[in-house]
């Protein structure tokens, strides 16, 4: 089938009708191009929305204390349990699915000054892991480390905007700031991975080691809330009830008390948005395949005309001993060739445009709301190629059957 003659014959027919073949090929080209382009753009939309969730937020949960509503073990309702640092050890020991766990204790409206410039800020007491869990990034220097915690050092990591307010253009690392009247050395600058209305506070907060906060400001050894991330491949929605149950038990809260220990995770919201995008993607496939189908019908149509024009040739071949299957093979090969080449071009151009858009956005640091990192999955590409070959076969099917049915007696009749 893949003999040189087969190719030669196909090329001969294609060459004879360059314009017609090109127009036919355009249909398939456009179909595949649209499929790839539209799916890639859809992916860009999806990526931008998922990015707003933050990199790690998908598998992050929050757990905090609130007033109990039920009496338990002789304790009255209305009591607020106090979360402590030793809960961390208990959680780590009992629930191995938890990857990171980070406590936070906040003090609001604390004056933060460098020389005589300053403002009131939120001060956060943390351990070293918060930056591994929440959608935060370090701009400069370092975050809180183990040594800071062990030695209760007076070090501070400034939110990016606070650093700008206090220091302007000046170098801040190593300088001392006064937080609530106490001198702290600046060791780093951090901020949210993405500036959004709900991440403003991360731009302005000042982070100090939690033990330092306990000692310096006499807050008492408590924690506002823990942020936990689940280990890879573990759904955070599975560990949230476990963490809450453990903390309820440790803090003598009735197991069926809906309050006492509160918790929250984004898993379900994330999942529902993911489902929306799966729906959108299915729709885009539907539209793309529809466009492709129109192209296939075009190829099929042209192939029918080609077969009609070649009736005489097919008759000659049959008289010379061509079997119906070899005739079918000839037509199908031509059809698959046209669809594959034009479709492949569509695939390449679509991918180039998507990749180019992404490249330009990354290279020029362009940030567009609702659009980020458009991409074409390998699976989409492979799927498209399989689709093309199938399309070529389908397009050639009817013309090929027509060709096989050519009656040599009629075909060879002179005039």
> What is the contact surface with another protein in residues (CB under 8 A)?
3-5, 9, 12-13, 16, 312-313, 316-326, 404, 408-409, 412, 414
Residue closer to another protein by CB (options 328, 347) is 328
Supply the minimum distance, in Å, between the C-beta of residue 334 and another protein. 14
Pick the closer one to another protein by CB: 177 or 404: 404
Q: What are 181's two structure tokens?
A: 């009247």
Q: Which residues of 126-151 are buried (b: 16+ CB within 10 A; e: fewer)?
A: bbbbbbebbbbeeebbbbbeeebbee
Least spacing, CB of residue 328 vs another protein, in Å: 11
CB of 302 to another protein, least distance (A): 18
* Closer to another protein by Cβ: residue 12 or 363: 12
Answer left, alpha or beta for residue 74, where phi above 0 means left and psi between -120 and 50 means alpha: left
> Measured from the CB atom, is 3 or 171 closer to another protein?
3
What minimum distance in Å lies between the beta carbon of 7 and another protein?
12
Q: Which is nearer to another protein, 174 or 321 (CB)?
A: 321
Q: How far is CA 269 from CA 49, 131, 184, 322, 388, in A?
A: 12, 23, 40, 63, 37
CA nearest neighbour of 405 among 342, 325, 334:
325
Q: Report the nearest approach of another protein to the CB of residue 404 (Å).
A: 8
Of 336 and 406, the one with the shorter C-beta distance to another protein is 406
For residue 170, the 8-state DSSP code is S
Q: Is 104 helix (H, G, I), strand (E, B) or coil?
A: strand
Contact 128, 144 (CB under 8 A): yes
Instruction: Select 19 or 320, whichever has its Cβ closest to another protein.
Output: 320
Written as six digits, the tokens of 155 are 């070090």
CB of 3 to another protein, least distance (A): 7
CB of residue 298 to another protein, shortest distance in Å: 24
Smallest separation (angstroms) from another protein to the CB of 301: 23
**Which of 32, 37, 38, 5 has its CA nearest to residue 299?**
32
State how beta strands 98-114 and 60-65 pair: unpaired
Please answer whether residues 384 and 343 qualify as being in contact, where contact means their C-beta atoms are separated by less than 8 angstroms.
Answer: yes
Enumerate the H helices of 364-405 as residue ranges: 378-404
For residue 189, what is the DSSP state?
A: E
* Residue number with CB closer to another protein (52 or 313): 313
- Nearest approach, Cβ of 323 to another protein (angstroms)? 4
Tokens of 116: 């005589």
Q: Count the helix, strand and coil residues of the chain and give each as a percent rounded to the nearest 5.
A: 55, 20, 25
Complex with another protein: residue 8 or 379, whichever CB lies closer: 8
């Amino acid at each position: 089938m893949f003999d040189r003659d087969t190719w030669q014959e196909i090329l001969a027919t294609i060459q004879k009708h360059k314009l017609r073949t090109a127009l036919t090929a355009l249909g398939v080209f456009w179909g595949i191009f649209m499929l790839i382009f539209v799916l890639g753009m859809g992916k860009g939309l999806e990526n931008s929305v998922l990015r707003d969730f933050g990199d790690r937020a998908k598998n992050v949960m929050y757990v905090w204390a609130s007033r109990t509503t039920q009496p338990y073990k002789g304790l009255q309702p209305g009591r607020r349990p106090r979360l402590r640092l030793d809960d961390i050890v208990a959680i780590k020991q009992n629930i191995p699915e938890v990857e990171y766990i980070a406590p936070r204790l906040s003090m609001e409206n604390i004056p933060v000054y460098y020389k005589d410039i300053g403002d009131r800020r939120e001060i956060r007491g943390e351990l070293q892991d918060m930056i591994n869990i929440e959608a935060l990034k370090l701009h400069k220097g370092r975050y809180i480390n183990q040594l800071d915690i062990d030695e209760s050092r007076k070090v501070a990591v400034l939110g990016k905007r606070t650093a700008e307010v206090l220091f302007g253009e000046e170098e801040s690392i190593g300088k001392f700031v006064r937080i609530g009247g106490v001198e702290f050395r600046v060791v780093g600058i951090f901020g949210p991975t993405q500036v959004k209305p709900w991440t403003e506070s991360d731009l302005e907060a000042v982070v100090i080691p939690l033990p330092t906060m306990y000692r310096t400001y006499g807050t008492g050894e408590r924690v506002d809330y823990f942020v936990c991330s689940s280990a890879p491949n573990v759904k955070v929605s599975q560990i949230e009830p476990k963490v809450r149950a453990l903390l309820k038990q440790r803090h003598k809260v009735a197991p069926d008390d809906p309050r006492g220990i509160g918790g929250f995770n984004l898993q379900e919201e994330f999942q529902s948005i993911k489902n929306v995008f799966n729906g959108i993607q299915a729709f885009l496939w539907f539209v793309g395949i529809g466009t492709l189908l129109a192209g296939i019908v075009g190829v099929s149509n042209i192939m029918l005309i080609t077969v009609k024009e070649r009736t005489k040739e097919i008759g000659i071949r049959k008289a010379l001993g061509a079997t119906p299957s070899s005739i079918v093979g000839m037509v199908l090969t031509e059809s698959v060739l046209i669809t594959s080449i034009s479709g492949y071009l569509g695939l390449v151009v679509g991918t180039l445009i998507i990749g180019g858009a992404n490249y330009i956005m990354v290279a020029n640091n362009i940030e567009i709301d609702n659009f980020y990192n458009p991409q074409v999955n390998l699976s989409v590409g492979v799927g498209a190629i399989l689709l093309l070959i199938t399309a070529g076969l389908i397009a050639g099917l009817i013309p090929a059957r027509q060709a096989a049915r050519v009656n040599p007696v009629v075909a060879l009749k002179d005039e």
